[in-house]
Amino acid sequence: MSDLAPESPRLELDCRGMRCPLPIIRLANAVTDVEVGEVIAVVATDVAARADVPAWCRMRGHAYLGERPAPDGVPTYLVRRLR
């Protein structure tokens, strides 16, 4: 996806080395730590996160903004809290 958030994420979750479902559990637990409209970045080495983060967003009513690499090349998935 190319609809990346222009602003910096309000919160970054470092999920490097965590296997499914831990990155999603961390995201679910942290989503209320940011205000509605703010962005959370999930940095995850687990390949399952590429499908899991967008699916979680669809199921929970949040916006998946896309993926971009972290400075070290690890995929970073961007989520906007909508409710």
Q: Choose the catalytic residue: 20, 22, 63, 74.
A: 20
Q: What's the Cα-to-Cα distance from 69 to each of 8, 36, 41, 44, 61, rounded to whole Å?
A: 14, 24, 11, 10, 24
What's the sign of the alpha-carbon dihedral 4, 65, 41, 30? positive
Active site residue 20: yes
Q: Which residues are catalytic?
A: 20
